[in-house]
Amino acid sequence: MPLNQGFVLASRPQGEARVDNFRYFEKETPPVGPGQVLVRNLWLSLDPYMRGRMDESKSYAASQKLDDVMIGGTAGEVVASENPEFKPGDKVVCVNGGWQTYFLSDGKGVNKVDASRAPLQAFVGPLGMPGVTAWYGLNKIIKPKAGQTVVVSAATGAVGTVVGQLAKAHGARAVGIAGGPEKCAFAVKELGYDACVDHKAVDFAEQFKKATPNGVDGVFENVGGLPFKLASHRLNDFARIAVCGLIASYEGAEKSSLDDLRILLVKRALIEGFIVSDHIDIWGQALRELIDLAASGKLKWRESVVDGVKAAPAAFLGMLKGANFGKQLVKLS
């Protein structure tokens, strides 16, 4: 049996997460029993939601248990199967394949993908959970009309990348917020954002105002903190804010708040938090649309790749601080 290598959650963070919150392990993969399938994880997706799971059940989902393999979506290949739905060589994505090189499963949460249509790792990125997240928040909460302005924080991240392009497809003005001139240039030149504002710039607030001359009709909020505050002060009537993530606040550094509820009343605006796993009913439609866009070359994205499972903790911690540029992946093969 092959050697499985990975990380368990060793301890819960006190404030900022640290590498010693994770503990490396190696152990032989158990034999594949009846109904089971063994997946060799080729790609591990690193996503901000994992930070919430590391805490003691403050988040929407149950906490990640201590000493369990770290939660994480993976893409890989079936290497052995005693489950009639899978055969060796099948390309699959695993909802929770975990931070490890092999995943033994009863088949639940393991889904075959057609890797002829896009690179395998895209199925844990723009053609997977992050893509569906973008699709849901934009189409079901923000519902932009042509000519409206949609602001997207973490504009070049796994989710934001897709939000901006979908907003453009609706005929909206897409305004990104990202950290640094390089990301902003990529957002505009490659992803098609009409404008992208660098939240690290000293004149961020002024630049943001200039980039939203007609106010803000929709906000896809991945970050919170100051970008949220600025956007909330420029809302138009009937604006919609989809709260997808608040990465600025995950480590307790910067609280994200709505300082004056009168904004919502005066603008008759809506703020809604969501988590894509509540909306399984739309995954099929969303994935079909996203895969079609990707296969026809109309959906672009960028990846940040680190090599080998041992690189996962540092890459994850870097992502929480915006060190990634595009979808953060760990290449396991």
Is 261 near a second copy (CB under 8 A)? yes
Is 280 near a second copy (CB under 8 A)? no
Is 260 near a second copy (CB under 8 A)? yes
Contact between 41 and 83 (Cβ < 8 Å): no
- By C-beta, is 66 or 266 nearer to a second copy? 266
* Helix, strand, or coil (residue 238): strand
Distance CA 134, CA 156 (A): 12
Is 266 near a second copy (CB under 8 A)? yes
Is 140 near a second copy (CB under 8 A)? no
* 172 token code pair: 């909206």
Distance CA 65, CA 255 (A): 26
Is 228 near a second copy (CB under 8 A)? yes
Distance CA 28, CA 63 (A): 26
Is 233 near a second copy (CB under 8 A)? no
Please list, in sequence order, all residues whose beta carbon lies within 8 angstroms of the beta carbon of residue 261, skipping any fewer than 6 positions away: none
Applying CB under 8 A, among 60, 112, 182, 308 the residue interacting with a second copy is 60
| HSE-up (13 A, CA, CB side) for residue 312 | 32
Q: Which residue has the tokens 């499985």?
A: 4
- By C-beta, is 275 or 295 nearer to a second copy? 275
Is 255 near a second copy (CB under 8 A)? yes
Is 59 near a second copy (CB under 8 A)? yes
Is 222 near a second copy (CB under 8 A)? no
Is 143 near a second copy (CB under 8 A)? no
Shortest distance, position 201 Cβ to a second copy, whole Å: 23
- By C-beta, is 11 or 236 nearer to a second copy? 236
Please report the sign of the dihedral spanned by the C-alpha atoms of residue 321, residue 323, residue 329, residue 333. Answer: negative
Residues that bind a second copy (CB under 8 A): 58-60, 221, 224, 228, 237, 243-246, 249, 255-275, 278
